[in-house]
Amino acid sequence: MGIVGHSKTTLAVWISILLALGVAGRGAVAADTPVFDVIVLGSGGGMDESNLSAYLLAPAGDSAYVALDAGTLTAGLRRAREAGSLAHFPADAELPPEAVVLRRHVKAYLISHGHLDHVAGMAIGAPDDGAKDILALPATIDVLRDHLFNWQVWPNFADEGAGLLLKKYRYVRLQPGEPRPIAGTGLQVTPFELCHAESGSAAFLLEAQGRYVLYLGDTGPDAVEHCDKLARLWREVAPLVREGRLLGVFMEVSYADPRDAAQLYGHLSPSWLMKELRNLADQVNGEQPTEALRGLKVFATHIKPKLRNGLVVEEEIATQLKALNNLGVEFAVPKQGQRILF
């Protein structure tokens, strides 16, 4: 083979390697090597109490999960079993798969805020749960301690607060911007504050093997909430996007467009989500913002159902996101019971 032919062959090999590693556009881990494992226990944002915000997350290949919010647990685990998403857990002769996962494999709860659609499953399931930590920002821990596990709304299954302390759960206060390992898992979490009407909320940046996934609890747009929490978050995670180490974002899209800003109530619609993603893109690459997020996986969460015949709001929002997407992000709407590897 002549020198020219050899050079062409070498170039072709290198192009194949670079494409496999995702160097074109954002750098990324190879698609066939998942880093994160997510089981969707609840993807909805209200109305249906059997499908409320709750996502199990673990490093791929690990069986120790953390629950990102806990609006629905046992109903979500049942749907996951029916979908085959629990088949990788070892069977037990005495316990159904739902109980095995909840008691033995969910090692901690990460709670974004104290609204019922994010904590109801944890409270209802507490009597049959296993011991674990509840990690949250201090204000959210105070809400759970004073207004949920207080022997008036529900028995106190935690280790602080009113009355007899059953001590099944241990409160762990996270500090904004400070990373902390999650006990019993291969994950580390860094929390960030979000604006969500009067209550506030949190985003959790989770790391495994040097790669990251970002989960946002409920949040309104900075422009409507009159705060800068999302802007601060985007500045923090922009370097990870540039380096190809942020593999996915779970972000709420509660309402379909059109939605008046005064009726967002601390939430997002597709148009507002795209505005915030453009703000992130500007932080990642201000000179080429339309290329900055290309290939980034964005999972639309917390979609609120509508009581109307013939209307599937998830499909409506997915269609709107596709039409608005001029950033090249990869939108997906998680389904309850689904297992996602990425």
Give every CB contact of residue 65 below 8 A, 6+ residues apart in sequence: 37, 39, 56, 57, 58, 101, 105, 106, 107, 185
Closest CA to 323 of 269, 250, 282, 279: 269
**What pLDDT score does 306 carry?**
80
Closest CA to 202 of 250, 254, 265, 148: 250
- Would you say how long the chain is, in residues? 342
pLDDT at position 5 over 60: no
Output the pTM of the full model: 0.90
Residue pair 149/123 in contact by the 8 Å Cβ criterion:
yes
Confidence of residue 202 (pLDDT cuts 50, 70, 90): very high
Confidence of residue 17 (pLDDT cuts 50, 70, 90): very low
Nearest 5 degrees, angle CA 162-CA 166-CA 168? Answer: 125
The alpha carbons of the chain give a radius of gyration, in whole angstroms, of 21
**What pLDDT score does 310 carry?**
67
**What pLDDT score does 82 carry?**
98
Q: What is the pLDDT of residues 220-273, one digit of tens each?
A: 999 999 999 999 999 999 999 999 999 999 999 999 999 999 999 999 999 999
pLDDT at position 12 over 80: no
Specify the CATH number of the domain 33-341. 3.60.15.10
Q: Percent of the chain, pLDDT > 90?
A: 87
Q: Percent of the chain, pLDDT > 70?
A: 91
* Distance between CA atoms of residues 288 and 163, nearest Å: 57
